[in-house]
Amino acid sequence: MNKGSKIKKSPRVFPARSISPKEHKDDFDDFEDWEPYAQLIEKQDYPGLVRYCKKRAEQRPDHLYAQYNLGHAYILNGEYENAIDFMSDHHRKHPWIGNYQHVILDALFALDKDEGDYNWVEKPVVLRLSENILDACYEFLKPKRKPRSVADLYIEFVMKGYLLFTEEDLYNALSTEQRFNVENPCEDQHLAKVQVVRKKEKNRKPL
């Protein structure tokens, strides 16, 4: 059994027209439909998940999330080429749906490719950890008197595109930047509190 992909998974919300939570819920008519899906995920039975999602996708060919679930199941099972082939048809039909873009991106990066190796109808936003990201964190925090967690900052970027960095990556980058004060009161780095360094703090002489 393939226990899963080599992709770092992170929670994502998509900048394009994404599939609504109601549409996702509606793919499962009742708890009896949802339960086997959840059990397959919990057991990491990804070949079984592919079979289950394929059956549902065939039964509901016009249901947006049923198609997404199958594409995602292909990713979890390490069937990256199948994920691209399957999701491409749906991307061409619905190029504005970010969920479909992100399945294709998951597959491309797992195959050591990038977003430039695919002929997009509508190109997705891909965010890499860079000086621009740190500048955006600074601008976000500058007017705020109270610190924000790394998780709060990360969510700001989740809302904007497909992220090629994790909360841990962001924490490490902020920790090495002199513009930020980062306090980690516990072992969970995503809960670390971040503030910008004010001018008074910069100019304060040590005792």
Segment 140-165, tens digit of pLDDT: 999 998 999 999 999 999 989 999 99
Task: Note the maximum CA span of the chain.
Answer: 72
pLDDT for residue 159: 85
pLDDT for residue 33: 64
| Distance, CA of 108 to chain centre | 14
Structural domains of the chain, ranges and CATH numbers in brackets: 21-117 (1.25.40.10), 127-203 (1.10.10)
What gap in Å lies between CA 154 and CA 173, rounded to an integer?
A: 12
pLDDT digits (tens, 9 = 90+) for 11-45: 333 333 344 444 444 455 554 567 888 899 999 99
3-state secondary structure the chain: CCCCCCCCCCCCCCCCECCCHHHHHHCCCCHHHHHHHHHHHHHCCHHHHHHHHHHHHHHCCCCHHHHHHHHHHHHHCCCHHHHHHHHHHHHHHCCCEHHHHHHHHHHHHHCCCCHHHCCCCCCCCEECCCHHHHHHHHHHHCCCCCCEEHHHHHHHHHCCCEECCCHHHHHHHHHCCCCEEEECCCCCHHHCEEEECCHHHHHCCCC
pLDDT for residue 32: 56
What gap in Å lies between CA 42 and CA 39, rounded to an integer?
A: 5
pLDDT for residue 172: 94
pLDDT digits (tens, 9 = 90+) for 36-79: 888 999 999 999 999 999 999 999 998 898 999 999 999 999 99
User: Pick the residue with more confidence: 126 or 187?
Assistant: 126
